[in-house]
Amino acid sequence: MEKLHTIYGALTIALFLGHVVFSANAQERKESALQKQLDLVAHQFKQWENGTASFFDLLADDVNWEVSGRSPVSGAYKGKQAFMERAVAPIIEKLKEPLKPKLISLTADDRFIWLHFKAQAKTKTNTIYENTYIWKLQLNDGKIIHAVAFLDTYELVQLMQNNITVMKKTIEETKGYIGMWVTADGHIRQELLPGNRYDEARGSRLSAYQGAYKVSGNEIFYRDDTGFTADGTFVDENTLHHGGYIFYKEVKDEKQ
C-alpha cells in the first residue's frame, strides 16, 4: 500500500510539473505572438512618420473601423474601401500637406494593441489642424481587423466644416448635387433626384423620408411631404452638411 501511495504521489507531481511546463510554453507563445504584433505596428508607424508608407496599409480588406463619440464624423466603417473613401479621403482633401504623426506610446494587453500619438498638418486655408489619437487595434495574421479610434472629434468637425474649398462654380450651376449622398457610416442615404425630389433611406427603412428640395448657389432647402423643412450647405462638390450630419457624394463604379 505504501508503495502504491509513493507511485501515486510521483504521478501527481509529474502531472503537475507537466501542466506547469505546458502553461509556461503556452504563455511564452502568446507573449511571442503579441510582441510580433507590437513590432509590426511599431514598424508601420515608423514608416508613416518617415513618409515612406501609409499606416493604413496594415488594414484588412474587411476591417471594422469605429470612430468614437456622437459627432457628425463618428460612426462605424465596414471594410477598408469604405473607410478610406468616406473617412480618410475627405480629411486629406482639406489638408495642404500630409498629416505628420508623432508617437507618444505603444502598449498592449491580452487582446489589443494601444497606439497613442499626435498628428498635425497645415490646411488649405493655412491654419493648423492638430489632434491627439488613441487607436485600439486588434490584429490577425498581420492585418488590423478591428479598430476603435478615440480623438477630439470637435477638432475634426471644425476641420471639415470651416476649411471650405472654394468652388469655381456653384453646385446649382454644375448640377453636381444630383445623385446619392451618404453619411460616413452608410446609415443615411439621401438621393437627390432630377426634378427636385429627394428620397431618403435610414438603415433598413427605405424611403423613410421623401419630399421636395431646391438648390440656390451652394445651399439646399428641403420640404418633407409631411411639411417639415430643413436646409444644408454643399461645402464642395462631394461634401454636404445637413441636419448635423456630413454626407459624401457616392461615386459609381464605372466598371459596373
CATH homologous superfamily of 171-249: Uncharacterised protein family Atu4866 (2.40.128.290)
Cβ–Cβ < 8 Å for 216, 155:
no
Check residue 25 and give its pLDDT: 58
- Please check the confidence at residue 70 and state whether its pLDDT lies above 80: no
Mean pLDDT to the nearest integer, 64-80: 85
* Share above pLDDT 70 across residues of the chain, in percent, rounded to a whole number: 84
Say if 34-162 and 171-249 have the same CATH topology: no
Distances (CA, A) of 164 to 119, 236, 239: 21, 7, 10
User: Can you read off the three cell numbers belonging to residue 158?
Assistant: 471644425
Domain chopping of the chain, boundaries: 34-162, 171-249
Residue 240: Cβ within 10 Å count: 25
Alpha-carbon gap, residue 181 to 200, rounded angstroms: 9
Q: What is the DSSP letter of 70?
A: S
- Tell the CATH topology of 34-162: Nuclear Transport Factor 2; Chain: A, (3.10.450)
Cβ-count burial 78-96 (b if 16+ within 10 Å, e if not): eebebbbbbbbebbeebbe
Check residue 174 and give its pLDDT: 93
